[in-house]
């Protein structure tokens, strides 16, 4: 079986036919040489493993674990060197697993190490993950409760669960191992990462967003961040249930999106911008034509008439880049009712503002900013950076007529994600863009275990768009805009 996936030119002289004919007992040939391992160690340990007699049980267990960890490394290396990776592409999961199980059985008996069933299953799974998947990262990718995976060099992997970052007990063997996994990911999408090209963005096969930066730019070992792709995106009801905003705010947002206000979701990194944008999109009518443009396709719109675009970085020769701006310009020729840009972060801002001003009402995007006011400054800066020579007042006037609403998402210090403010842009006063906050999250304190105490409230101002809402059939009750007491 092994023969099917084994490289024909492998170091091992065993031929395919030999392997098939002699599956079980292996001649006393040594295991494949392991580069990273000090040479005399295995024999000494092997003897120990066979004669455990006088060793204290705890010590024995510890050594067994160490030995197991060594075995894993040796096996990983051996598998990767010996297997014919091209043939593996087509191997079924079942075949490959039984192949790996045969190899471990042989190898363990060679090494004189007896594993219980659980350990053996775990070892086989890890080897399978190494060959087929992303090695130590694989269990984290499978774990539904993990949102984000952050790797700071080979020995430190943080995960985010339920809004909290925790150090996991998973590690890579060393930087070489980590680099091999990074390389596997980026080469699968036709990219390269090395000293001269030290960072890369990619999308994993399951849709997760991946970014890596390797040494020497990453000083203490490669840095990796993965935003896990969720098949089931959080919807409006989930977000209300999780306390991200209230039903009243949801009713207001429904009116805003349905009546085609242009909305910007602003927030810090990982604050829930994309999730909010995705949830807001559920208020769009099913018969509208929507085009989405993203650097990494994350949005999952439920409507029927959706065209999705993903920008593309240059290839290794520096050619073939398709920017978000290219996509956006093209999108304008594709008769969209609405355009959704995953995140506006550069020169595409010009086309986004123009689209919002010229008949594509109801367009939406996100920006990286800490408040609505800050968001507007970001837009101004982006316009300036795009090299557009326009007086500031004209830029502001364009922004104020393009953007109707800024929704501020935030990840608070206790890990909870909330829509801390909904702000309307109401026009210009002199040189300044005027805005009014309609809803906000009012913090009132902190519990002894550092959970934030607070409540959502309307600010008491009447929506600038009340009349528009009413005309479109969204007659929001005045009580919706009255400040609420804590519930
Ligand atoms: N209200 C919420 N409650 C719980 N989890 C949430 C909430 N909002 C978002 N999340 C989760 O938080 C993670 C980050 O969310 P999201 O991708 O929307 O953030 P982002 O602001 O777009 O991040 P980035 O700046 O990296 O693009 C996701 O895993 C998402 O499922
Ligand atoms: Mg995002």
Q: Measured from the CA of 275, which atom of ligand 1 is nearest?
A: 18
Q: Determine the distance separating the centroid of ligand 2 and the alpha carbon of 131, expressed in angstroms.
A: 30
CB-based burial label for 219 (10 Å; 0-12, 13-18, 19+)? exposed
Are the C-beta atoms of residues 231 and 273 closer than 8 Å to each other? no
pLDDT at residue 83 in the model? 65
pLDDT higher than threshold 90 for residue 92 = no
- The closest ligand to the CA of 228 turns out to be 1
Residue identifier of the C-alpha nearest atom 10 of ligand 1: 272
Q: Is the CB of 271 under 6 A from ligand 1?
A: yes
- Give residue-wise pLDDT tens across range 359-375: 778 999 999 999 999 99
How far, CA to CA in Å, does 414 sit from each of 135, 447, 449, 451? 31, 10, 9, 5
Contact partners, residue 132, CB within 8 Å, separation at least 6:
88, 93, 96
Closest approach atom of ligand 1 to CA 147:
29
Stretch 149-166: mean pLDDT: 93
Cα torsion 110, 112, 113, 115: sign: positive
Confidence band (pLDDT; 50, 70, 90) for 84?
low
Q: Which helix (H) or strand (E) holds 42?
A: helix 41-50
For ligand 1, the distance from its centroid to the CA atom of residue 275, given in whole angstroms, is: 5
Which comes out higher in pLDDT, residue 134 or 483?
483
CB-based contact 124:97 (threshold 8 Å): yes
296 CB within 6 A, ligand 1 = no
Contact at 8 Å (CB) between 428 and 400? Answer: yes
Topology adopted by domain 236-481: Rossmann fold (3.40.50)
Question: 406-420: per-residue pLDDT in tens?
Answer: 999 999 988 899 999
Question: How much distance in Å is there from the Cα of 175 to the middle of ligand 1?
Answer: 29
Q: Which atom of ligand 1 is nearest to the CA of 234?
A: 31
Looking at every residue in the chain, the average pLDDT score rounds to 84
414 ligand 1 Cβ < 6 A: no
Q: Where are the domains of the chain?
A: 2-132, 138-227, 236-481
- Shortest-distance ligand to the CA of residue 271: 1
Shortest-distance ligand to the CA of residue 266: 1
**Does a cis peptide bond (omega within 30 degrees of 0) precede residue 202?**
no
Cβ of 267 closer than 6 Å to ligand 1, yes or no, is yes
- Smallest-distance ligand from the CA of 163: 1
Q: Which tens digit of pLDDT belongs to each residue from 453-470?
A: 999 999 999 999 999 999
Ligand 1 pocket, residue 365 CB under 6 Å: no
Q: Pick the ligand that lies closest to the CA of residue 418.
A: 1
Rounded to two decimals, the pTM is 0.77
Strand, helix or coil for residue 37: coil
Closest-lying ligand 1 atom to the alpha carbon of residue 368: 25
Contacts of 404 (CB under 8 A, 6+ apart): 256, 261, 262, 263, 424, 425, 465
CA dist 129 and 108 (Å) reads 19
For ligand 1, whether the C-beta of 272 sits within 6 Å is: yes
Output the pLDDT for position 9. Answer: 47
CATH number of 138-227: 3.30.450.370
DSSP for 91-113 reads --HHHHHHHHHHHHHHHHHHHT-
> Is the CB of 268 within 6 Å of ligand 1?
no
Closest CA to 416 of 446, 438, 439: 446
Kindly list the protein residues that place their beta carbon closer than 5 angstroms to ligand 2, a single-atom ion: 273-274
269 alpha carbon – ligand 2 mean position (Å): 7
Q: Whose CA is nearest to atom 25 of ligand 1?
A: 269
Q: Is 411 in the pocket of ligand 1 (CB under 6 A)?
A: no
In 249-289, at which residue ranges do the beta strands (DSSP E only) sit? 263-267
Bridge partners of 413, per DSSP, are none
**Tens digits of per-residue pLDDT, 271-293?**
999 999 999 999 999 999 999 99
Lowest mean pLDDT among 28-32, 52-56, 115-119, 161-165: 28-32
For ligand 1, whether the C-beta of 311 sits within 6 Å is: no
Ligand 2 geometric centre to CA of 161 (Å): 17
**Average of pLDDT values for 202-229?**
92
According to the model, what pLDDT value does residue 237 have? 95
272 contacts 243 by C-beta, under 8 angstroms: no
Query: Tell me, what DSSP letter sits at residue 475?
Result: -
Ligand 1 pocket mutation pick from 274, 324, 370 by most atoms within 8 angstroms of CB: 274
| DSSP alpha helix (H) spans, 293-402 | 324-331, 348-357, 372-385, 392-402
Q: How confident is the model at residue 48 (pLDDT cuts 50, 70, 90)?
A: very low
Atom of ligand 1 nearest to the CA of 230: 31
- Determine whether the shortest distance from the Cβ of 416 to ligand 1 is under 6 A: no
E-strand ranges in 199-337 read 199-203, 209-213, 223-227, 263-267, 290-294, 306-310
Segment 184-191 mean pLDDT: 84
Closest ligand, as measured to the CA of 243: 1
| Helix and strand totals (H; E) in the chain | 17, 15
User: pLDDT tens for residues 98-157?
Assistant: 888 888 888 888 878 788 888 888 888 888 887 777 888 999 998 999 999 999 999 999
Atom of ligand 1 nearest to the CA of 278: 18
């Amino acid at each position: 079986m092994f023969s099917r996936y084994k490289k024909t030119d492998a170091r091992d002289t065993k031929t395919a036919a030999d392997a098939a004919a002699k599956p079980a007992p292996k001649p006393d040939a040594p295991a494949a040489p392991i580069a990273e391992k000090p040479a005399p160690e295995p024999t000494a340990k092997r003897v120990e493993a066979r004669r455990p007699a006088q060793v204290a049980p705890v010590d024995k267990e510890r050594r067994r674990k160490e030995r197991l960890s060594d075995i894993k490394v040796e096996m990983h290396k051996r598998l990767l060197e010996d297997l014919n990776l091209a043939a593996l592409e087509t191997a079924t999961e079942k075949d490959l697993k039984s192949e790996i199980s045969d190899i471990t059985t042989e190898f363990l008996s060679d090494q004189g190490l007896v594993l219980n069933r659980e350990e053996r299953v775990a070892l086989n799974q890890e080897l399978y993950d190494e060959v087929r998947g992303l090695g130590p990262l694989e269990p984290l990718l499978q774990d539904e409760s993990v949102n984000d995976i952050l790797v700071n060099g080979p020995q430190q992997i943080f995960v985010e669960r339920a809004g909290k970052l925790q150090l996991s007990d998973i590690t890579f063997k060393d930087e070489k191992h980590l680099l091999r996994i990074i390389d596997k990911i980026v080469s699968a999408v036709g990219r390269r990462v090395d000293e001269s090209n030290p960072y890369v963005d990619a999308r994993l096969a399951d849709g997760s967003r991946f970014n890596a930066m390797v040494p020497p730019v990453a000083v203490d070992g490669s840095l990796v961040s993965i935003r896990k792709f969720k098949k089931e995106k959080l919807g409006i009801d989930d977000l209300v249930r999780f306390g991200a905003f209230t039903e009243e705010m949801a009713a207001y947002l429904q009116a805003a999106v349905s009546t085609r206000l242009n909305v910007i979701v602003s927030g810090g990194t990982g604050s829930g911008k994309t999730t909010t944008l995705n949830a807001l999109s559920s208020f769009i009518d099913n018969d509208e034509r929507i085009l989405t443009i993203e650097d990494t396709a994350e949005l999952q719109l439920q409507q029927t008439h959706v065209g999705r675009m993903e920008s593309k970085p240059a290839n290794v020769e520096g050619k073939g880049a398709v920017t978000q701006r290219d996509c956006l310009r093209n999108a304008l020729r594709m008769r969209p009712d609405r355009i959704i840009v995953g995140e506006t972060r550069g020169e595409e801002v010009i086309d986004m503002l123009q689209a919002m001003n010229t008949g594509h009402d109801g367009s939406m995007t996100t920006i990286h900013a800490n408040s609505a006011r800050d968001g507007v400054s970001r837009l101004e800066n982006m316009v300036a950076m795009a090299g557009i020579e326009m007086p500031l007042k004209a830029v502001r006037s364009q922004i104020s007529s393009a953007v109707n609403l800024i929704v501020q998402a935030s990840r608070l210090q206790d890990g909870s994600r909330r829509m801390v403010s909904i702000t309307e842009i109401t026009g210009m006063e002199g040189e300044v863009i005027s805005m009014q906050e309609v809803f906000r999250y009012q913090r009132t304190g902190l519990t002894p275990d550092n959970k934030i105490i607070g409540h959502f409230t309307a600010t008491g101002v009447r929506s600038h768009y009340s009349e528009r809402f009413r005309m479109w059939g969204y007659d929001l009750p005045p009580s919706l805009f009255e400040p609420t007491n804590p519930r």
